Amino acid sequence: MKRLAPPRSDALWTLALAAAVLWPARMLSPLDGLPLSGRAEAIVIGVVLPALWWIDRGFLQRAAARALITTLLVVKAASVLLIPQHGLCARFSTAAPLEGVVMTIRVDEPDGVLRSWDARSDSRSSSPRCTAIFDRAYASRDAFPAWFVNLLDGVHGRVDRVTLDVGGSLAVDAPGTLTLAATKDMAIAGAIDETRVDVDRGRAADVPLGAGSHRLRLHATFDGGDWRLAPLWNGRDAWTAARFTVAPAGLVDRVLSPILAVLTPALVLAIVAAWLWSCVIGRRAPAAAVACSIAAALAFALIAIDGRFDRYAAVVLLGAAAVPIARRAQNGRTAFVLVGVPWLALFVARAWSQIGRVTIYSSGDDWLMYQVAAYRVSLNGYWAQGGSPTFYFQAGYRWIAAALHMIFGDSSVGETYWDAACLLAAALLCFAVVERAAGYRWAIAAAALTLATFTLGPSWYLIGRGLSEISAVGWMSAASWLLMRARLGRVRSAAAAGAFAVIMFFTRLNHLLLAAFLLAWLLPIRTPARWRALAAAVRRVRVAPAAAYAAVVAAGVALFAAHTWWYAGRFSITYGTSFGPQQTGLGLTTIASPEVWRRIAEALAAQLTMREPPAVDPRAALVVLGAVLSVLAVLQVPGVNRLSAPIAIVTIGTIAGSFFAHTHEYPGRMSVHVVPFAVAASVSAASQLARAFSRRREPALAEMAPAAGRPLPGRRARAS
């Protein structure tokens, strides 16, 4: 296929692709856009398309790709102009006002409106008419778009009476009977056209209707946890046997909506199929890698479904180092296929039952706090403020959680996908640095060991839980990648790296020191930690990329302090945060204090052992070893100082924050960002040790080998 434009247009067409597949379609069908609350769209749009983009971004330069993307955009635009929104307008509410404080976050809904994460609704308005669009039958409370039960539980410690108003039109082609049923914890009242409808608790009602369009107005009250709204038409699911629309539908809708409902998913699948074909004909990955990847992905999916051994699956990825790969294909793309695809398959399968379901968060911890802050940011309109004047807890994850909920609906499956992707980015970064320092096979092993450390170690429970540490690692990985690209003088890459470092700091405030240490990626990876070699490499660093990165980071820190000044009256990056109760007390006046150093030792021990309180744990062996080797390398211990200086410096940077602050909750959360670099240091040291052993062994073997043409002792006697 023909290229239409230079690769610089990839960003534009990436945005066009995202807009095309995420733009909510007016028709209800698989792959119809936001929210990704169905299994097909959550996996195809939420996982498969981003993976294909990573493997082969060049596909977006193809004429066929652009034609498909443009056609999908035109179809979505036509549906908006020509047909009404399919589904039913739903509005949840509770007794007004709903006010309270949840984990330092103010909740204020004076009208008692309970908003849902549905991009098709007007939940973000001050007085919404529809807080959600109903698009299927709901058999239980966790199937409803009802994330707000967490809000009620956080404010009142219980779920109060919830009321639901449903409105729209029902269109049928022939006369029949609509059946509405109520559970023991709910009652339904309202009207269909002029026919009164009353359904008592635990009962059902049949409403005969003629052919044509009928106005639907229902009011339901829920007093307990048994919720259900699954209307039947002539004994069948009404969502498949009839057509619901928010506004009355006309002839155009009856003619076009069936066509567009098929065309929309067909175009998305055509994009995926064409992309896969492009990967095949372009040989973006070796056949052996693809075959092993598919087999591993299927195995990982079965392991996740079984649920007993999913923590150990990542260890199997070590076998990827033994897959024969031609030298020209030993790159990050092949590493993604061999390691990344099975890893993503593991978490897609783990989150399978979570798609389209509301997650009930544990009360009184950071997990719920982030979600409440995200609610304030996205649904109450506090985009600039961030949901609270100061950030006692981390700032950046509020916006991330808001975006994930808007993409995937009320379900928190997006947080599982996002965490898995961020950890994979860290593993691929580990691959990149070890590949330069030690070679391809060592790098594949390092990536696998990084992921295995995350799953085997105490931090396993963090994946998908919705905390900030894993997200910060994702931004850290992006900043590191861009800094390595900026080493040759690319100022734009350095500035972009600075932007990602700022987002990393916003997401996890104790990463501010790490942002400075990331500058080490401007050094060649193979620079040894010996002072003379390190000093020579530093002198060769280009000033422009380093200055651009530092300027962007400094501007980001100033922006954070200005935010605190604007909303709280203090120009500070620590005011109102949790730094106060969590600091170790290290300062110029306390540097000799034994108590301060005791707290620092405890913080470092907890960080390196991934345990709280600290304890010896063999699962953290590579983390401890990598940190110790990095410190010894910088201290110029002979032999150890041959370790890569950038790897050693950044590894030290990941633990530098423990000298100033430490949190005592959530074991392993402060260790997440240490793992990829500590593993890289450990594996790089192992490769150097293996090479040294091999060099010593080769002379011995040469001495034992016979000279050319000379028979071994005894051979001549036997021959004679």
Model pLDDT for residues 320-356, shown as the tens digit of each residue: 999 999 999 999 999 999 999 999 999 999 999 999 9
Give the chain's radius of gyration (CA, Å). 29
pLDDT for position 664:
73
Residue type, 624: V
The rounded mean pLDDT for the chain is 91
pLDDT band at 8 (very low <50, low <70, confident <90, very high): low
pLDDT for position 133:
97
pLDDT for position 708:
44
**pLDDT at 497 > cutoff 90:** yes
pLDDT band at 704 (very low <50, low <70, confident <90, very high): low
Q: Which two tokens stand for residue 470?
A: 């894993």
pLDDT for position 702:
56
pLDDT tens digits, 343-394: 999 999 999 999 999 988 877 778 888 889 999 999 999 999 998 898 887 7
Give yes or no for a contact between 407 and 414, defined as CB atoms under 8 angstroms apart: yes
Q: Percent of the chain, pLDDT > 70?
A: 96
pLDDT for position 1:
40
Question: What's the pTM?
Answer: 0.93
At residue 122, what are phi and psi to the nearest 5 degrees? -110, 40
Stretch among 46-55, 535-544, 585-594 having the lowest mean pLDDT: 585-594
Q: Which two tokens stand for residue 312?
A: 């150990």
pLDDT band at 577 (very low <50, low <70, confident <90, very high): confident
**pLDDT at 202 > cutoff 60:** yes
pLDDT for position 64:
94
pLDDT band at 692 (very low <50, low <70, confident <90, very high): confident
Give yes or no for a contact between 3 and 320, defined as CB atoms under 8 angstroms apart: no
Cβ-based neighbour number of residue 695 at 10 Å: 9
pLDDT for position 343:
98
pLDDT band at 713 (very low <50, low <70, confident <90, very high): very low
pLDDT for position 703:
61
Q: Which residues contact 428 (CB under 8 A, 6 or more apart)?
A: 332, 335, 336, 339, 340, 447, 477
**pLDDT at 403 > cutoff 80:** yes
The span from the CA of 387 to the CA of 395, in Å, is: 9
The span from the CA of 625 to the CA of 529, in Å, is: 17
pLDDT tens digits, 662-671: 877 788 888 9
pLDDT band at 2 (very low <50, low <70, confident <90, very high): very low
The better pLDDT of the pair 692, 67 is held by 67
pLDDT tens digits, 268-313: 999 999 999 998 887 778 889 999 999 999 999 999 999 889 999 9
Q: Which residues contact 72 (CB under 8 A, 6 or more apart)?
A: 20, 21, 264, 267, 268, 271
Alpha-carbon dihedral of residues 529, 534, 604, 498, nearest 10 degrees? Answer: -130
Candidate ranges 509-518, 579-588, 690-699; pick with highest mean pLDDT: 509-518
Average pLDDT in the 586-613 region? 91
| 277: alpha, beta or left? (left if phi > 0; alpha if psi -120 to 50) | alpha
pLDDT for position 719:
36
Stretch among 169-173, 457-461, 550-554 having the lowest mean pLDDT: 457-461
pLDDT for position 698:
65
Stretch among 423-432, 649-658, 687-696 having the lowest mean pLDDT: 687-696
pLDDT band at 700 (very low <50, low <70, confident <90, very high): low
**pLDDT at 707 > cutoff 60:** no
**pLDDT at 513 > cutoff 90:** yes
Helix (H, G, I), strand (E, B) or coil at 85: coil
Stretch among 184-188, 281-285, 552-556, 598-602 having the lowest mean pLDDT: 281-285
pLDDT tens digits, 58-84: 899 999 999 999 999 999 999 999 999
Give yes or no for a contact between 465 and 351, defined as CB atoms under 8 angstroms apart: no
The span from the CA of 54 to the CA of 478, in Å, is: 13
Stretch among 2-6, 185-189, 217-221, 548-552 having the lowest mean pLDDT: 2-6
Helix (H, G, I), strand (E, B) or coil at 157: coil
pLDDT tens digits, 472-486: 999 999 999 999 999
